[in-house]
Amino acid sequence: MIKQAIIPMAGMGTRLLPLTSVFAKELLPINGKPGIEYIIEECLDAGINEIIFIISKKKEIIKKYFYNDSFYKKIIKKKKNPRIIKEYKKILNYRKKIKFVYQNTPLGTGDAALKTQNKIKGKFFLMLLPDDLIIKKNCSKAMIKVHKKYKSSVMASMKVHRNTVNRWGIYSLNKNLDKNNFLISDVVEKPEINQAPSNNAVIGRYILPKNIFAKLKKLGSGKGGEIHITDAIRNLIKENSQFVGHKFKGKYLDCGTMDGYIESSFEIAKT
Ligand code: G1P
């Protein structure tokens, strides 16, 4: 059973400047709701009961968002506004499930994951990258089903335009398992177009085995000087750990770039 999820949030969000110069991108509203709430809802709906937020001292505002009790209590006492009461209750409910750990230097997704090592209890856990919103279908829920079926690690996959491969982790496919799932034989972080093994990209949903932490500890920095989860996954695959690529059904929204962020509000408004 997968009951824990981790969410790296210590990144600086430079792709969304100037919005992120004083604000955490995970709290930016998407159609009137902080992006991170969509991710929390996806987790809870998928049966996750503990979500570990990896933040940094510079992003304490994320913690404050969930712990602003005296503010809410004062307002509610004065105004007795049902909408505010409802929102406050929602936040109280979310925070029962959330734990915080710190990554004060943004050294990449792999380094972020490593900060949660002592908190992970089960053999597998879910990791979600909050820039990647997937709407209309719960991708995490579908991946947990695939994990149960194939008893393996799972990663979300989507075909991308060939000339954008150097923006993504890219899979080498071994063989198809069924219509929506394939065995992965390798994965490369942001390859150049002439070195990309396919145009099947990693999207930010991963079901990872606990033994990835041992691999992460030994890992040096990779592309762009960061420690990438992709490189640790690659090492696990080399040692015959089974990873399945799952072609998810929902609609992907890239909220980590300005164009994608703007578009995401429109797309969600349409649903
Ligand atoms: C990260 C991962 C990359 C993946 C992407 C999906 O990159 O490192 O493998 O394809 O998320 O959004 P980032 O977006 O942090 O550059």
CATH number of the CATH domain containing 250: 3.90.550.10
Q: What is the pLDDT of residues 30-66, one digit of tens each?
A: 999 999 999 999 999 999 999 999 999 999 999 999 9
Beta carbon of 169 within 6 Å of any ligand 1 atom: yes
Domain that holds residue 120: 4-270
Cα-trace Rg, the chain: 19
Can you spell out the DSSP letters for 177-226?
EETTEEEEEEEEES--GGG-S-SEEEEEEEEEETTHHHHHHH----GGG-
β-bridge pairing 243-247 and 181-189: antiparallel
Q: What is the pLDDT of residue 11?
A: 92
Alpha carbon nearest to ligand 1 atom 11, residue: 204
Residue 207 tokens, joined: 């079901």
Q: What is the pLDDT of residues 95-130, one digit of tens each?
A: 999 999 999 999 999 999 999 999 999 999 999 999
Beta carbon of 201 within 6 Å of any ligand 1 atom: yes
Cα distance from N-terminal residue to C-terminal residue, the chain: 31
Beta carbon of 129 within 6 Å of any ligand 1 atom: yes
Q: pLDDT category, 271, cuts 50, 70, 90?
A: confident
Beta carbon of 109 within 6 Å of any ligand 1 atom: yes
Containing 258, the helix (H) or strand (E) segment is helix 258-270
Query: What's the domain count of the chain?
Result: 1
The mean pLDDT value for 148-154 works out to: 97
The mean pLDDT value for 210-226 works out to: 93
Expressed in angstroms and rounded, the spacing between residue 68 Cα and the centre of ligand 1 is 31
